Structure 1
Amino acid sequence: MQLEKILNKHFTKKQQQVLDQFINNDKWDLMINYGAVRSGKTVADNYCFILSLLRVRKIADKDHVKDPLYILAGTSRKNIYNNVLNPLFNDFNLIPEQDSIGNLHLFGVTIVLAYTGTIAGLRGIRGSSAYGAYINEASLANEGVFSEIRDRCSEGEGRIICDTNPDVPTHWLKTNYIDKDSPLIISNHFVLDDNTFLSKRYIESKKATTPKGMFYDRSVLGLWVTGEGVVYQDFDQNTMLVDEIPDNLNYYCGVDWGYAKGHENVITVFGDDPETDITYLTGIFNSTGKFIDYWVDIAHKIQEEHGRNINFWCDSARPEYVNYFQENTINARNADKSVMDGVEYCAQRIKTNKFKVLRSCAKPFLDDIYQYVWDPIKGVPKKEHDNVMDSFRYAVYNQHKKYENQVLENIYL
């Protein structure tokens, strides 16, 4: 009872849950505490950081290792100081010693700093073997850096703790780690109400003054939701992803030319169900650094599966590529690239539940659609995360425009 009073005085129930997992569960090697702003997750991680260093020192003693390494990571040195080192001093009166090369020392453990914003942040840990890591603001980390830090934690138990605010629902940290059903990964979801040390007035004010939608869902409820200003805001992967598609679909494709990183080439394959008028996205071929002959081979494979006469609605910005497709017996057509008309048509099909995505090919589509947003100044979609989206628009808008125009012509003849 006395211990419970002490814990309740210093930690919220949610923080106590995290500490219990840290101390009494030896099965995990990655703990992710995520959720709302000011919900207490970083405090829990900071305390786990201290416990980690004490634990590492004990394990190193058993291994007869004089100078064990531990990685402390964040987007920048300033963020590491503000979020981790400053609270260490204010809350625990702990000041790590710093050596001549910038490493920190506490409890007989050498703490190596790593900066996760870019791949260059790996310089400080290359070639090292660590006993564990604490990654602050993990969703802001470069995925390659995050993976490298995990690989470096090969000594002792090699446990990693991290905290983060939520991001888009397709973020790699969520899909590859939090959503993964593994006893080696623990994730704890924090909401604003979990921080019982905040005043009731502050919490009520925060809820009342935070705009509804993405801002409220992320900062109060701690949810991984899509951002504000998303072009296709009615797309819902919970209802629009399917595991099977009907037979006898009418197939066609969209092509967005590209080559370099950030401007990949994309061919999307769609099929319309003539009975329900539902459009299905059934395939995505996307890559960088491939020449036109590679894409001719892809198009021929699509023809072999769906018929020689399948339409390829292409970006007209590369007429030489369109011509090359045509020379290779591919039914390539210049797409009407009207952005607003095309977006409006695609958005209407999504809104009226006339669009589905085959789950097995969904990842590239989901990666783009949740980050494809309006430019608030120009009033058009930003030229970011648009490769799959452009291919989607070229195909669906032009295919339906073509046949709808044919129907109108037949009516008036």
Structure 2
Amino acid sequence: MTAPLPLSDKQLRSIRESSAARISIWHGSVRSGKSIASLVAFLLGVRQAPASGLILLCGRSLQTIERNIIEPLQDPLLFGDVAEEIRHTRGATTASVLGHTVHLIGASDARAEGRLRGATAALAYVDEATLVPEGFWTQLLARLSVPGARLLSTTNPDSPRHWLKAGYLDRAHELDLAQWHFRLADNPSLSPAYVAALSAEYVGLWHKRMIDGAWVVAEGAVYDVWDEQQHVVDELPTMRRHWLGIDYGTSNPFSAILLGLGDDDRLYAVSEWRHDARAVRRQMTDAQYSRAVRAWLDEHEVAPDWTFVDPSAASYITQLWADGHPGVARANNDVLDGIRSTATALDSGLLRVHRSCEGLLGELPGYAWSEEAAARGEDKPIKANDHSVDALRYVVHSTAHEWRHLLTHSAA
């Protein structure tokens, strides 16, 4: 069985070789063809799976399993007539694949390990292995106890100290493990224009990982593209739209960043309202914060389309709603994706910061990756002096769908 779309020699070789290994891992850049190869191998594995033992599809959540595995398998452009043999009701924890019952298991935290207790598995597929807990992976391998049982997995690169890299990929010669590294150029179905556009959407650390497919450590400045001479402006164009990002603090600083879309098709951090309770020795209540932010916006004669608030600030969000503040929403708080969106906007020349945003300008150059977290194989910024950069991240990332199309038009 093969997919209707043409497969490269590298994809075909990985499919053949995977049948002989207990653990098979496809890793590398986004859209490099690794997922299609692994899914073809999975379908062949379902056909050949031992009669006893469960078949498992695993990922960070049920929703990601549906999006990254089930939906592609059901696409006739990818899998032809085989797509008709993939049946699943959205939200259900089982699916039918080629007539076999397959169990879907989300693994977002350490508690997910308990979902495997007592199971005996013959075949397992793990989507984005670096995002599942190490304990879940270890328990899954222990449950693959049927003779001939296999684990198939895909992942984008992460830190070179990540447990999957250090404990498995680097020890492949000691284990019954086959691995294949894919780069963007390995996908024969991508057009040069698409490759160029995708490459432009990733910068710095993420370009190395997602485009080059490299396992590199997060180190140094988070926004290593930051250049005050390039990114700071003294004058602003006319703004067509405004959005607001708020990082809430009581004893810690409270920061609100007003983001504007100028008539020159650039994004600008237009202004900042910030209250540091420790510095002025005066804390403010939710109601006081709400009135102060509203007064600040009135001074600028601005009514933002949306206000994206730190999602942990439930009481403040409730206060804004009660005060009739328009367009209040919980910010998208995916830290790494938010940093990537902000870094891309800065690197492309799309995002500028007005000189009046003193708190933001003070934090941006020193916002750095944690060396301690990197030593554990984790990507985490240092949690210090990050309130204004968090507010900027909230509003930039939460509006990415509004401005991403402008990347190709902006100039550094």
TM-score (norm 2): 0.51
| Contact 1:13–1:194 under 8 Å retained in 2 | no
- How well do the aligned residues superpose, as a CA RMSD in angstroms? 3.7
Letter in structure 1 aligned against 2:15 = L
Counterpart for residue 366 of structure 1? 375
| Residue 106 of structure 1, CA deviation | 2.8
Map 1:395-406; keep pairs closer than 5 Å: none
Deviations 1:302-349 (A, max 9, x none): xxxxxxxxxxxxxxxxxxxxxxxxxxxxxxxxxxxxxx9xxx9xx9xx
Letter in structure 2 aligned against 1:191 = R
Structure 2 gap ranges (5+)? 225-361, 390-412
| Residue 375 of structure 1, CA deviation | 5.3
Identical-residue share of aligned pairs (%): 27
Map 1:236-255; keep pairs closer than 5 Å: none
Map 1:346-357; keep pairs closer than 5 Å: none
Map 1:163-178; keep pairs closer than 5 Å: 163-178=154-169
Map 1:260-279; keep pairs closer than 5 Å: none
Counterpart for residue 219 of structure 1? 210
Letter in structure 2 aligned against 1:188 = W
Find the partner of 2:94 among 103, 114, 139: 103
Letter in structure 1 aligned against 2:181 = H
Q: Secondary structure at the match of 2:58?
A: strand
Counterpart for residue 157 of structure 1? 148
Deviations 1:337-394 (A, max 9, x none): xxx9xxx9xx9xxxxxxxxxxxxxx9998327974547573599xxxxxxxxxxxxxx
1:16 matched to 2:1? The reply is no
Counterpart for residue 148 of structure 1? 139
Map 1:7-406; keep pairs closer than 5 Å: 10-23=6-19, 26=20, 28-56=21-49, 59-60=50-51, 65=52, 68-90=53-75, 91=79, 92-97=82-87, 102-180=93-171, 181-182=173-174, 184-207=176-199, 209-210=200-201, 212-227=203-218, 230=221, 366-367=375-376, 371=380, 373=382, 377-378=386-387
Letter in structure 1 aligned against 2:174 = S
Assess, with a 3 A threshold, how the Cα gap between structure 1 residues 95 and 80 changes in structure 2: closer, same or farther.
farther
**Which of the two has higher C-alpha Rg?**
1
Counterpart for residue 253 of structure 2? none
| Residue 35 of structure 1, CA deviation | 0.8
Assess, with a 3 A threshold, how the Cα gap between structure 1 residues 70 and 198 changes in structure 2: closer, same or farther.
same
Q: Give the count of matched residue pairs.
A: 242
Letter in structure 1 aligned against 2:7 = F
Assess, with a 3 A threshold, how the Cα gap between structure 1 residues 125 and 97 changes in structure 2: closer, same or farther.
farther
Assess, with a 3 A threshold, how the Cα gap between structure 1 residues 37 and 79 changes in structure 2: closer, same or farther.
same
Deviations 1:61-91 (A, max 9, x none): xxxx4xx411110111110001111111113
| Residue 225 of structure 1, CA deviation | 1.2
Q: d(CA) in 2 for partners of 1:119 and 1:364?
A: 18
Deviations 1:233-266 (A, max 9, x none): 9xxxxxxxxxxxxxxxxxxxxxxxxxxxxxxxxx
